[in-house]
């Protein structure tokens, strides 16, 4: 089963190393394959290098695709993480 969802990056500094690390860590906790699209480029959502190379800025939209037995759960969890600004606090930027 393949599921997709459009998500908006809401944290102030976009998808840089720390938020990408949180995304990849969560994505790796699921069996499903996770792919992410930004501006026409598809990358492996379980690869830190791929995710940081997207350089998605605040306000941009990414498409997350999950394919596998826990695809819906993976998308729910990843959507929650992105909507929460990757749980980044102001201290995380200093």
Compute the distance between CA of residue 42 and CA of residue 83 in angstroms, rounded to an integer.
Answer: 20
Structure tokens at 37: 């699209």
Is residue 87 annotated as a catalytic residue, yes or no?
no
Compute the distance between CA of residue 82 and CA of residue 15 in angstroms, rounded to an integer.
Answer: 9
Compute the distance between CA of residue 15 and CA of residue 2 in angstroms, rounded to an integer.
Answer: 24
Annotated catalytic residue within 3, 5, 16, 18 = 16
Residues recognised as catalytic: 16
């Amino acid at each position: 089963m393949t599921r997709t969802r459009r998500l908006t990056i809401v944290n102030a500094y976009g998808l840089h190393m720390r938020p990408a690390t949180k995304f990849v860590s969560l994505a790796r906790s699921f069996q499903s394959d996770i792919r992410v699209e930004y501006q026409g480029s598809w990358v492996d959502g379980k690869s830190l290098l791929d995710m940081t190379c997207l350089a998605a800025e605040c306000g941009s939209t990414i498409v997350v695709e999950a394919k596998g037995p826990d695809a819906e759960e993976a998308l729910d969890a990843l959507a929650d993480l992105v909507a929460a600004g990757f749980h980044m606090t102001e201290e995380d930027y200093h």
